[in-house]
Amino acid sequence: MEEYILKFESLKRPTIKEVFINKMESMILSGELPVGEKLPSERAMAEEMNISKTAVHDGLKDLERFGFVKSVPKQGTFVADYVETGSLETLTEIIKYNNNRMDAQTYRSILELRMVLEPLAFQRFVQRVTPADYEKLQELFDIAEKIPADAQHAGQWADALFAYHHFIYIKSGNNLFSLIYNTFKQVSLLHFKKYCETRRDQAAVCIARLHKYLLAGDGDAAGSILMEEIRRYCQLTGLEL
């Protein structure tokens, strides 16, 4: 009998700084610490939480980088409006806080971002594509197409679809496109899984049409198909754009 060896990742205990950051993010995102609230001094927070002042200091620096707090010289540290001060790192932290779930507004915003970026990525892809790239794209498409169209394989299909789109972003020639898309990987996988469960047959037809136009070098047509399908999906799920 063939023996299979399972590969486990080593478990890592969170540092005190990470625990502090998670606690602060939870208090801010839940509204317990409202925007504009002045935080206690680093020393006071360290004493109250029974942790080192260094952990608080370093944690606040990360929280400021994430857009959750703002340090004002000679005044102190305040809870910031992360919608105004945040970045992609902020969104990543919010998604982690929500266990990879999104509220309707965030979900809608990400789909709208896809409608802007992906058609442009399609256009750039067909302008720069090589024969080897076409072969790889076909290979990724074939992998997705062979996956059974049922809920049991929705996660597998989501992985394949993400890999297909991610390859297009990588080959678009815009490094930022790929980084942005990869930032939303877990969210995209959840979206594709739900998409598969909701519209698997129609989704397969849509991807086949999109793929056909990409192979023909028509990035504009592929982009139009994508936007049309996203709008249809949003109407079906109540996420009006």
Counted domains in the chain: 2
pLDDT tens for each residue of 163-176:
999 999 999 999 88
Q: 75-82: long-range contacts at Cβ-Cβ below 8 A with a sequence spacing of 24 or more?
A: 75/38, 76/38, 76/39, 76/41, 77/38, 77/39, 78/36, 78/37, 78/38, 78/39, 79/28, 79/33, 79/34, 79/35, 79/36, 79/37, 79/39, 80/35, 81/35, 82/28
In a domain, 10, yes or no: no
Mean pLDDT value across residues 195-213: 84
132 contact partners, CB below 8 Å, separation of at least 6: none
Interatomic CA distance for residues 58 and 52, integer angstroms: 10
In a domain, 96, yes or no: no
3-state helix, strand, coil in the chain (%, to 5): 70, 5, 25
Are 75 and 23 part of one and the same domain?
Answer: yes
44 contact partners, CB below 8 Å, separation of at least 6: none
pLDDT tens for each residue of 112-165:
888 999 999 999 999 999 999 999 999 999 999 898 877 788 888 889 999 999
CATH number at residue 233: 1.20.120.530
Are 74 and 23 part of one and the same domain?
Answer: yes
Whether the model clears a pTM of 0.85, i.e. scores above it, the answer is no
Residue 234 CA neighbour count, 13 Å, CB half: 19
Are 108 and 226 part of one and the same domain?
Answer: yes
Lowest mean pLDDT among 48-57, 70-79, 89-98: 89-98
98 token code pair: 């929500």
Predicted local confidence at residue 102, as pLDDT: 67
In a domain, 153, yes or no: yes
pLDDT at 72 over 90: yes
Averaged confidence pLDDT in the chain: 87
Interatomic CA distance for residues 1 and 39, integer angstroms: 62
CATH number at residue 49: 1.10.10.10
Which structural domain, as residue segments, surrounds residue 50? Answer: 16-90
201 token code pair: 């047959």
In a domain, 97, yes or no: no
Are 24 and 84 part of one and the same domain?
Answer: yes
pLDDT at 47 over 50: yes
